[in-house]
Structure 1
Amino acid sequence: MKIAQISTNTLPVPPKDYGGTQRDVHYLTEELVRRGHEVILFAKEGSSSQATQTFVYPSNNPKKQLDFIIKNLPDDVDFIHDHYGIAAKANPPIPTIRNSHSKGVRGVQIPVYVSKTILRKYGKNKGYYVYNGIRVEDYIFQKKKSNYLLFMGRMMEQKGVHLAIKIAKKTGKELIIAGPVNDRKYFNSKVKPHLNKRIRYVGSVGGKKKQELLSGASCVLFTSTWDEPFGLVLIEALASGTPVLGFRKGAVPEVLKGLPQLLCSNTRDMISKIRHAKRFPSAYKCRRYVRENFSDSVMTDNFLKLYKKIIKEKKYKLIKKSTWNKRKAKIVKMQEEIHP
């Protein structure tokens, strides 16, 4: 198949540190190419990919980005996988899905979410869901753990950093906090006053440093209090052989369905489970769980099945190809007049 992957213009593919959407685009693109498919990638400047062709957005203006996609999209593309939204809303004469990595989307024919929970709650059960996947081999595996707890995520109230601090104090454990500061006021009032030798903030991390923190932790705390669409840190920790405790919010019960002993109802529950850490699944079981359920290979299998299902069942309404071609010709002519 010839497949177009439409990434956002916020972070390159793959992202350096944080960026779940762009990491998904990266893993999916690489795995599709490995299986012999042609992939046309549209992404932010600085992206690096094994895609058959990579087009870098020339502008930050969504209208100009859409025009750029229309101009450069090959006529023989079989499927468009839009992680951004601008192509799907244009309703091209090609089967197209809009992959939402957060909440509900409107104005597109075929939305795809990252969990059943988000499909039901925000998508009103209209569309499909495919879980995120990661390349397990990209994560350092470590059986022997250090004696620290780890919180990894954005510094904002919904992520519950303050709850991770409370849990660390109650259990007497060292806590390492990593992630970018999204809400400076929250960070200064709820996080910074508690920092000391045992509760440390190490900033935003990526690459080898991130791998070392994940693989070395005795446990990762996923204290998010909002309806997480998926929770990538959950599977990143498990792939590193590290148990991760999460609240029964959003998609967390789906992601940890096969490891129910890691699900928590509240902070008391989480504190109790940390004190009985011997009941945690082994490092090998954690990694195997991700490989069998949330690997890049499993994610690609599921997307390919979905592509074929949509094409076979023709569950889409397309504008006439002649209308699309007229629009494309107009865009090309305009750009030739600007840059003769």
Structure 2
Amino acid sequence: MKILLVAGPFISLREPYNGGTEAFVVELANELVRLGHTVDVIAKDADEKNLFQVIEFHESPLSMKDDSYRPCPEWLGQQHYQTLQYGLFDVSRYDVIHYNSFIPEIYAVGALFKTPSVLTLHLPPTEKFVLMYTFFIKHAPVVPIGISARMSKQWKAFLGSDVNVILNGIPLDKWTVHERNADGYLLWSGRIAKEKNVEAAIQLANYLKQPLRIVGPVFDKEYFRDHVQPQMNERIEYVSHATQQQLSNLVAGASAYLATATWEEPFGLSTVEMLASGLPVVGFTSAIPPELRHENVSIAVDSQDWQDLIKPLEVAKQSEPAACRDFAASFAMTKTSAAYVNVYERMVTKLRR
């Protein structure tokens, strides 16, 4: 099949990724190519090592800033210009379009196309996304897919019908199993923002007098300045943003991974990545969806109090790296991609009847 994946014309797929969605798009596209399909991805750019082709919509050489009718800065005007080019793009060459975008104009334009489409629901329902996706589904031949039972249940309330689930996956061969460093530091990764709640990890580490490494881009500079930086000390280290290889290397010196988000994670790729590296995970149920929980290697407490992580952390540290890896193998990208291909083929067959 010829498959078009849509991230967005100003979305970079280069490492280090801004989030799990970008990592998912890259690894799904690569695996689909390995399965023998032709895959193009609408994005700003991607690392050259990838197997798929990037389709770029370039900025205009003219200024797109608007100071009058609908005032907007230059960067936003250029984003609008790039996105609306999708309406002139010939999608007839593709058997299926797979949307993984958070850009409203993409769906306004995509609603005009009659190519079989799949929409992966990467985020919880908000007023904006409900309006955006329900409009799209009303006008286009599209099947929505939730990345966890949690996402499926939440979106069913707004879409009015069952939402099938295809769990996210990772390429297992990218994550090396490391021997456990029982006396190593705790590890936390994610975007630095209030809802990700790195403060809980810091408080736990300080209480245990155990080192903590914090990895991730600063999304909320004020939050980082006011709530994270003041708690830095000789044990608490901010490593900044990291590639997947750099993160894998950090696992080698860690004893456990902390998942402390206070918002309900739609899936939690980082949890699977750490498990695949042999590192046990401890966190809150909000941060670890039911599918990713395990009584020994991925322990979730129904709480958002860091003190409730103390005892589970001791249990998790007794687990073997091989047990962590075995559980993570349930979320291999090979399974995820095969499930999506099955959906693609059903849609194409249905439309041809």
After TM superposition, the score normalised by the length of structure 1 is 0.83
Does 1:130 pair with 2:130? no
Per-residue deviation, residues 14-60 of structure 1 (Å, max 9, x unmatched)? 43343322211111111111111111222113554312x43112134
**Structure 2 contact 6–97 (Cα < 8 Å) conserved:** yes
Out of 154, 161, 164, the residue aligned to residue 121 of structure 1 is 154
CA–CA distance in structure 2, aligned partners of residues 172 and 273 of structure 1: 17
Out of 121, 125, 129, the residue aligned to residue 100 of structure 1 is 121
**Structure 1 contact 101–113 (Cα < 8 Å) conserved:** yes
Q: How is 1:68-87 mapped onto 2 (pairs within 5 angstroms)?
A: 68=86, 70-73=88-91, 75-84=92-101, 86-87=105-106
**Structure 1 contact 164–223 (Cα < 8 Å) conserved:** yes
Corresponding residue for 2:51? 50
Task: Compute the displacement of 1:305 (Å).
Answer: 1.6
Given the superposition, is the C-alpha separation of residues 33 and 144 from structure 1 closer, same or farther in structure 2, using an over 3 Å criterion? same
CA–CA distance in structure 2, aligned partners of residues 68 and 32 of structure 1: 23
**Structure 1 contact 140–215 (Cα < 8 Å) conserved:** no
Q: How is 1:281-292 mapped onto 2 (pairs within 5 angstroms)?
A: 282-291=320-329
Given the superposition, is the C-alpha separation of residues 278 and 50 from structure 1 closer, same or farther in structure 2, using an over 3 Å criterion? closer
**Structure 1 contact 58–65 (Cα < 8 Å) conserved:** no
Does 1:150 pair with 2:187? yes
CA–CA distance in structure 2, aligned partners of residues 12 and 64 of structure 1: 14
**Structure 1 contact 215–237 (Cα < 8 Å) conserved:** no
Given the superposition, is the C-alpha separation of residues 10 and 19 from structure 1 closer, same or farther in structure 2, using an over 3 Å criterion? farther
**Structure 1 contact 171–275 (Cα < 8 Å) conserved:** no
Q: When the two structures are aligned, how many residues end up with a matched partner?
A: 311
Given the superposition, is the C-alpha separation of residues 61 and 157 from structure 1 closer, same or farther in structure 2, using an over 3 Å criterion? closer
Given the superposition, is the C-alpha separation of residues 76 and 8 from structure 1 closer, same or farther in structure 2, using an over 3 Å criterion? closer
Out of 304, 309, 312, the residue aligned to residue 273 of structure 1 is 312
Task: Compute the displacement of 1:279 (Å).
Answer: 3.9
Given the superposition, is the C-alpha separation of residues 312 and 137 from structure 1 closer, same or farther in structure 2, using an over 3 Å criterion? same
Out of 257, 272, 279, the residue aligned to residue 242 of structure 1 is 279
Out of 144, 162, 169, the residue aligned to residue 111 of structure 1 is 144
Aligned-pair identity in percent equals: 28
CA–CA distance in structure 2, aligned partners of residues 258 and 112 of structure 1: 28
Query: Tell me, what secondary structure is at the counterpart of 2:114?
Result: coil
Task: Compute the displacement of 1:126 (Å).
Answer: 4.3
For 2:35, the aligned partner's letter is R
Corresponding residue for 1:18? 18
Per-residue deviation, residues 232-288 of structure 1 (Å, max 9, x unmatched)? 1101111111001121126522222575761222323311122344543x1112112
**Stretches of structure 1 lacking an aligned partner (at least 5 in a row):** 316-340
Query: Tell me, what secondary structure is at the counterpart of 1:202?
Result: strand
CA–CA distance in structure 2, aligned partners of residues 55 and 234 of structure 1: 31
For 1:256, the aligned partner's letter is R
Per-residue deviation, residues 283-317 of structure 1 (Å, max 9, x unmatched)? 112112222x21111110111122223334559xx
Name the stretch that deviates more: 89-98 or 218-227. 89-98
Name the stretch that deviates more: 176-185 or 240-249. 176-185
For 1:32, the aligned partner's letter is L
For 1:94, the aligned partner's letter is T
Corresponding residue for 1:217? 254
Corresponding residue for 1:326? none
Given the superposition, is the C-alpha separation of residues 204 and 76 from structure 1 closer, same or farther in structure 2, using an over 3 Å criterion? closer
Given the superposition, is the C-alpha separation of residues 208 and 13 from structure 1 closer, same or farther in structure 2, using an over 3 Å criterion? same
Query: Tell me, what secondary structure is at the counterpart of 2:264?
Result: coil
For 2:217, the aligned partner's letter is P
Given the superposition, is the C-alpha separation of residues 153 and 31 from structure 1 closer, same or farther in structure 2, using an over 3 Å criterion? same
Q: How is 1:123-202 mapped onto 2 (pairs within 5 angstroms)?
A: 123-124=156-157, 126-145=162-181, 146-202=183-239
Task: Compute the displacement of 1:212 (Å).
Answer: 1.2
Corresponding residue for 2:72? none
CA RMSD for the aligned pairs?
2.5
After TM superposition, the score normalised by the length of structure 2 is 0.80
